[in-house]
Structure 1
Amino acid sequence: MQKYLLKLTIAFVLVLSGCSALQSEPVDETRTWSASKLYAEARDELASGNYEKAIQHFEKLESRYPFGVYAQQAQMEVAYAHYRQGEPAQALAAVDRFIKLHPNHPNVDYMYYLRGLINFNDRVSLFNFLSKQDLSERDPKAAREAFDSFKQLVDRFPNSIYADDARSRLNYLVNAMALYEVHVANYYYRRGAYLAAVNRAQTVVRDYGNAPAVEEALFIMVRSYDALGMPELRNDAERVFKQNFPNSAFLKGEWQQSKPWWKFWQ
């Protein structure tokens, strides 16, 4: 009798535990939704700024209907939602996955554009020259990656609706990266590392020949060669400098006035 009661008690406890588990398990309201409804609801969440919810819906859509007409669009939307959510790593992973899976998709140009935007906006403070942080301590890797993405877009899809904006951003990135190199060159010059200053300034002249920062890069080369006691190289640099910038503020000594160095490009 006691054994029977013990078994009955155990069975009762197990039943109660099962009921409790069933009650605590959340009900997935989307389980019966069609692909079109899942996509529509996900888009609504995205438009409302509920990015996490939108991502969940898009991922369920792709998982449940991997070969449907909405699956590829869901992959693109997930990348955008992560971008708007402020999750650049997840957004870039989603973009790269899409490009790898669908290199010939009719909207793959948008994914190259989005990849550029993610890198561009993720590190926009990289080129905030009013920041107190020394720019020489920062890594412009994201800017270069943004440049590469926009360049791929422009080269592969010159007639894309995103191409004109990409070109504008490319111009900005070229100027910004050139200014970064100039700042590092100045950093070395101020610390007496004149050869290093020359090398960084030469990078600007060689790689960013049309950027406004070339003016100061040449001026740094003149000063650095002078400090190194290399009159021939100094004179060559000065000749090129004066030939290209005969009315330069640096020649007039105006660069030493109160205006911060980067203000000359604004």
Structure 2
Amino acid sequence: MLSKQLGRHIVLSTALCFMAVGCSSQPDEEQQVAKTQIESLYEQARESMAAGNFNLAQEQLSNLNRRFPFGPYAHQVQLDLIYLHYKLDNTEEALAAIDRFISLNPNHKDIDYAMYMRGLVNQRAEHNGIHAMFGVDRSDRDSSMAEEAFKDFAELVRKYPDSEYAADAKKRLVAIKSRLAKKELAVAQYYMDRQAYLAAANRGRYILEHFSDTPEVENALAMMVESYDQLDLPELREDALKVLRANFPGNQLVSN
């Protein structure tokens, strides 16, 4: 009797053991299937990107991000989506995705890339393709996005000076500086045209103080010379003229 009970106990234990093994292996198999599925879906999206089909790639990666928000490619999918938003001129979506990525992954190895992309997105949003296409100079247009891009690139260079994106960020900072200086110069010219010479001179001085390494400084100094002349302020006129002469000896005001 005891041997039969012992036999049943052994059989039952063995069955339970196999059940336990089966249960423990099932999640592993499901995880492997999910991983293979994710890899396949991600590869499809990458192929769409490589082919230049950005709309399809965005749709594929968005679906992958929704279905597997914590999958093995989660961070890379999010970074790829940022790039696609940028390519498709989806400014708001790109900035939201970038800010979310930086907020949730402050120590990620590609955080410098996210910061760089933020600068690119803001810079592209500021740029007006129609004006550029037809050569129309609209330096007086809103510069808020250019200012944001400048902050983004400056922060990248400051925090990650050794980043592979730092060199390009520095070049873009120079270009954006010139863009912002042109905006101030356009405002100064606006005041000059309306004979508001004091306001024009102040704008010129602002350019001199904040954008001293841009080509716009020459015109800013010239406006200061003319404005102080109109205001009958000979000392200030002479000071501005000296700086103009020292830095731009070929300027028409200097030769006169």
| Deviation digits for residues 103-159 of structure 1 (CA, Å, limit 9, x no counterpart) | 1110111111111111222323389597446532x1111111111111111111111
Please give the alpha-carbon distance, in whole angstroms, between the structure 2 residues aligned to 1:170 and 1:97: 24
RMSD in angstroms over aligned alpha carbons? Answer: 2.4
Give the corresponding residue for 2:196.
Answer: 193
Matched residue, 2:139: 135
Q: Across the two proteins, how many residue pairs are aligned to each other?
A: 222
Return the offset for 1:32.
11
Residue by residue, what CA displacement relative to the aligned partner does 1:153-192 show, whole Å, maximum 9, x if unpaired? 1111111111111111111111222122122211210121
Of 167, 182, 185, the match for 1:182: 185
Asked whether the 8 Å contact 2:139–2:179 carries over to 1, the reply is: no
Gaps of 5+ in 1: 1-30, 254-266
Identity %: 41
Which residue of the other structure, out of 98, 106, 118, is the alignment partner of 1:95? 98
1:180-229 superposed Cα distances (whole Å, 9 cap, x missing partner): 21222112101212122112111110101122211111111111111122
- Output the CA distance in 2 between the equivalents of 1:240 and 1:133: 28
- Which position in structure 2 is the counterpart of 1:27? none
Structure whose alpha-carbon radius of gyration is higher: 2
**SS of residue paired to 2:255:** coil
User: For residue 173 of structure 1, what is the amino acid of its counterpart?
Assistant: I
Aligned to 2:149: 146
- 2:28 maps to none
Partner residue of 1:232 out of 228, 235, 240: 235
Distance in 1 (alpha carbons) for counterparts of 2:128 and 2:57: 28
Question: TM-score of the superposition, structure 1-length normalised?
Answer: 0.76
SS of structure 2 residue aligned to 1:135: coil
Corresponding position of 1:6? none
Confirm or deny that 1:210 pairs with 2:222.
no
Segment of structure 1 superposing worse, 71-80 or 87-96: 87-96
Contact persistence 2:200–2:223 (CA under 8 A): yes
Check conservation: 2:54, 2:84, Cα contact below 8 A: yes
Q: Which has the higher helix share?
A: 2
Amino acid at match of 2:70: F
State how far apart, in whole Å, the 2-side matches of 1:232 and 1:179 are. 27
Task: Name the TM-score, length of structure 2 as normaliser.
Answer: 0.78
Shift of 1:241: 2.1
| Alignment partners' CA distance in 2, 1:134 and 1:145 | 18
Alpha-carbon distance in structure 2 between the residues aligned to 1:125 and 1:85? 15
Within 5 A, what are the aligned runs for 1:158-169?
158-169=161-172
Indicate if the aligned counterparts of 2:116 and 2:156 stay in contact, CA closer than 8 A. yes
Does residue 123 (structure 1) correspond to residue 134 (structure 2)? The answer is no
Query: What is the aligned partner in structure 1 of residue 107 from structure 2?
Result: 104
> Does the alignment pair 1:157 with 2:160?
yes
The structure-2 alpha-carbon separation of the partners of 1:167 and 1:135, relative to structure 1 and needing over 3 Å to count, comes to: closer
